[in-house]
């Protein structure tokens, strides 16, 4: 069995982002970039599957500029076997386009599992996994918090849904998107980081895939969110209750 893991390079989740003054986007110059946290969880899950002997090969795929090679390398350092970069200058490809590219790679690689993050923390779209599953016409399990392989190579996946936990059974090949509690990603050790430098990354030009990459959504403006007006500190419980009752009128 083989797993294809999709990883996106995004602004690190600890960075406080700044909106550009011309409203065209957010500042990315000299900003720390990292692998999307949900994708780290996806890589970790695949590495654990490999350690258990459930899968034999982990391919790490990223679609982005040359710099996304770093993101692939961190996946390889965690335990991925090889990488694929689909190279593009457009840093803001839409999920539908990304989905079509992932499908093209899938058709070549024929993995049994495709694992993605449930959401990229930059565009907050929460779509790509669902798009890939639909394009491939294979079953999907989004928001996975537990995976269990059955004897017949199917997977039971527990999903974090509003109101509780749902478990579904999927035949392979299938698409899974990760939620936060699936696992805790490891830190790559120094020797593994060194080893990862030797691992192979295939680089494909996006043009070679013959996919229409024109965006369907026009971004008119990116704005700062409205600010909350500054609040106050209250002295004690009495004054808190008093304020909530008589000033805010919410009790």
Partner 1 sequence: MKILVVIEHDNKMVKQSSYSTITAASLINDNVEAIVMGDNLSSISEELKKSDHLKKIYVVDNNLFKNPLAENLSKTLKIFIEDKNFTHILSPSTTFGKNMSPKLATLLDVQQISDVTKIINDNTFERPIYAGNAIAKVKSNDSIKIITVRSTCFEPCGLDSDTEVENLNIDVDENNSVQFVSYDQSKSDRPELTSAKIIISGGRGMQNGDNFKLLEGIADKLGAAMGASRAAVDAGFVPNDWQVGQTGKIVAPDLYIAVGISGATQHIAGIKDSKYIACINKDEEAPIFNFSDYGLVGDLFELLPKLEEKL
Ligand X SMILES: Cc1cc2nc3c(=O)[nH]c(=O)nc-3n(C[C@H](O)[C@H](O)[C@H](O)COP(=O)(O)OP(=O)(O)OC[C@H]3O[C@@H](n4cnc5c(N)ncnc54)[C@H](O)[C@@H]3O)c2cc1C
Of the candidate residues 31, 194, 203, 234, the single one contacting partner 1 (CB under 8 A): 234
29 binds partner 1 (CB under 8 A): no
Of the candidate residues 121, 135, 201, 211, the single one contacting ligand X (CB under 6 A): 121
What does the H/E/C string look like for 169-213? Answer: EECCCEEEEECHHHCCCCCCCHHHHHHHHHCCEEEEEHHHHCCCC
Which region among 62-70, 72-80, 138-146, 230-238 touches ligand AMP (by CB under 6 A)?
62-70
22 binds partner 1 (CB under 8 A): no
Of the candidate residues 49, 98, 104, 157, the single one contacting ligand AMP (CB under 6 A): 98
Nearer to partner 1, 191 or 226 (CB): 226
Considering CB under 8 A, how many residues would be counted as binding partner 1? 77
Per the DSSP assignment, residues forming a β-bridge with 102 are none
3-state secondary structure (DSSP) of residue 142: strand
- Do residues 104 and 209 make contact, with C-beta atoms less than 8 angstroms apart? yes
Smallest distance from the beta carbon of 18 to partner 1, in angstroms? 9
Of the candidate residues 33, 95, 109, 186, the single one contacting ligand AMP (CB under 6 A): 95
Choose among partner 1, ligand AMP, ligand X, none what residue 76 binds, the Cβ cut-off being 5 to 8 Å by kind: none
Which tokens sit at 45? 């899950």
Nearer to partner 1, 89 or 184 (CB): 184
11 binds partner 1 (CB under 8 A): yes
173 binds ligand AMP (CB under 6 A): no
CA distance 212 to 97: 8
Q: What is the DSSP letter of 245?
A: I
Our CA dihedral for 77, 80, 86, 89, rounded to 10 degrees, sits at: -20
- For residue 173, whether the previous peptide bond is cis, meaning omega lies within 30 degrees of 0, is yes
106 binds partner 1 (CB under 8 A): no
Smallest distance from the beta carbon of 21 to ligand AMP, in angstroms? 26
Q: Which pairs with CB-CB distance under 8 Å and at least 24 residues apart come from 11-15?
A: 11/121, 11/122, 13/37, 13/121
CA distance 78 to 189: 8
179-218: which residues touch partner 1 (CB under 8 A)? 179-181, 215-218
CB neighbour list of residue 44: distance below 8 Å, 6 or more residues apart: 78, 182, 183, 184, 185, 186
* Contact residues: ligand AMP, CB under 6 A: 6-8, 36, 38-39, 61-64, 95, 98, 116-117, 119-120, 123, 125-129
């Amino acid at each position: 069995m083989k797993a294809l893991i999709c990883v996106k390079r995004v602004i690190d989740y600890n960075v406080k982002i700044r909106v550009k003054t011309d409203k065209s986007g957010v500042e990315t110059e000299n900003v720390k970039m990292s692998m999307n946290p949900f994708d780290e969880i996806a890589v970790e899950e695949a590495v654990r599957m490999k350690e258990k002997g459930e899968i034999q090969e982990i391919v790490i795929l990223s679609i982005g500029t040359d710099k996304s090679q770093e993101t692939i390398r961190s996946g390889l350092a965690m335990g991925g076997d090889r990488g694929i970069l689909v190279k593009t200058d457009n840093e803001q490809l839409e999920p539908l386009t990304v989905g079509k590219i992932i499908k093209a790679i899938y058709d070549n690689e024929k993995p049994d599992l495709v694992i993605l993050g449930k959401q990229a923390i930059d565009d907050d779209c929460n779509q790509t996994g669902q798009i890939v599953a639909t394009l491939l016409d294979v079953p999907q399990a989004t928001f996975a918090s537990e995976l269990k392989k059955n004897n017949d190579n199917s997977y039971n996946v527990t999903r974090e849904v509003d109101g509780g936990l749902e478990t579904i059974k999927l035949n392979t090949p299938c698409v899974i998107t990760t939620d936060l509690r699936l696992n805790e990603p490891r830190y790559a050790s120094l020797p593994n980081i060194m080893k990862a430098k030797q691992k192979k990354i295939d680089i494909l030009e996006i043009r070679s895939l013959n996919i229409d990459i024109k965006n369907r959504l026009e971004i008119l403006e990116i704005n700062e969110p409205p600010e909350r007006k500054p609040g106050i500190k209250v002295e004690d419980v009495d004054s808190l209750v008093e304020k909530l009752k008589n000033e805010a009128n919410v009790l």
